[in-house]
Amino acid sequence: MNRLTIRNNCKCGPKSYVGCMDFDERQLRAFLAIADTGSLGRAVRVANLTQPTLSRMVKGMEERLGHALFDRGGKGMVLTPAGELLATHARHIVSEMGNTRDELAALRGLKRGVVRIGAVSSVMRTLVAQAAGQLLAAAPGLRVELLEAVNSELLDALVTRRVDLVVSAGLLDDPGVVAIGPGAYRDAFATFCAEHHPLPSAPRLADVLAHDWVMPDASYTPRQMFERLIAAQGLALPGIAVETASVETMIAVSAHSRLLCWLPEPLLAAHIASGTMRRLDVPELAISREFVLHRRASGLLPDAARRFVELFPLSS
């Protein structure tokens, strides 16, 4: 049986010190289900256990550890500091258990493994798609799971072990991840408008800032990059008439209105070719970026993920 031994302060005597902290995978998954959903009721569906069973499991874990794992209040089940510590280690162990089972199954010929990749939109549609295609051609039984998101979401997905690798825009500054290397691809953000927009092809910065824009909300990395560029010019931010996290929605809204958008050039290539959008030459708002492949700083990289890294084109 898979088990996790955690050494920490405990109320048990010396002889039972290790045994009282020994949890099996079923208990860890149940604990994480409660931590992720915030309530016993919602965790029932995730863990496939009854609410009384979950309650007994948590109570037993708390008694054995000598720490409360959850604060139980009006906001549901919230992790205590001890619970957060256990959750970090539990996610690591549960993830490694799954990876080990996959690789053992692969040795028996039962399956070929899973690789979980996260990336920002531009590189997802270029380098990641190309490397994933090559990987599937070489190993048809492999399964690839892809997550397209912005840097902050990618970092969270990598640290919480929801993906094995991420390709971010620039380096991720977090002690829990390490860079494997920069990808052999760069792109640039630029300003775009509908083909019928009255602005000239090379407008002044003041002219584009006088128009309203469609943007992701302020928590997203591209929006923050855009606002830093404007601040560096000592100018006021333009009006944001529409906020959406969807790139395709941004393009569609801009194409059917006079709203401007600021996006990576490769994402607009098909729309420019079809005559629905055009690029505006605004040097102050043009910025290039590189992409970096990252993995977690700790733990083993699954075999399928290692094979993806071998195919991913890194800059020499």
- Residue ranges and CATH numbers for the domains of the chain are 3-104 (1.10.10.10), 112-184+290-311 (3.40.190.10), 186-288 (3.40.190.290)
CA distance 77 to 20: 23
Nearest CA-CA partner of 214 in 256, 248, 278, 260: 260
Q: Which residues of the chain, if any, have pLDDT below 50?
A: 1-20, 110
pLDDT in tens, 51-92: 889 899 899 999 889 999 999 877 788 999 999 999 888 888
222 near 216, Cβ under 8 Å?
Answer: yes
Tell me what pLDDT residue 112 has. Answer: 60
275 Rama class: left (phi>0) / alpha (psi -120 to 50) / beta: left
Query: Residue 274 CA to chain centroid, in angstroms?
Result: 32
pLDDT at 105: 64
Q: Distance between CA atoms of 243 and 259, rounded to whole angstroms?
A: 11
- Is 68 buried (19+), middle (13-18) or exposed (0-12) by CB count in 10 A? middle
Q: How far apart are CA 292 and CA 67, in angstroms?
A: 40
Which helix (DSSP H) or strand (DSSP E) does residue 186 occupy? Answer: strand 177-194
The mean pLDDT of the chain is: 87
In 3D space, the residue among 54, 49, 90, 85 whose CA is nearest the CA of residue 67 turns out to be: 85
What confidence score (pLDDT) does residue 12 get?
Answer: 38
H/E run at residue 112: none
Q: Which residue has the tokens 């902050």?
A: 152
Yes or no: say if 175 and 252 are a contact pair by the CB < 8 Å rule: no
Enter the pTM of the model.
Answer: 0.63
Helix axes 51-65, 25-37, angle to 10 degrees: 110
**Cα 78 to chain centroid, rounded:** 22
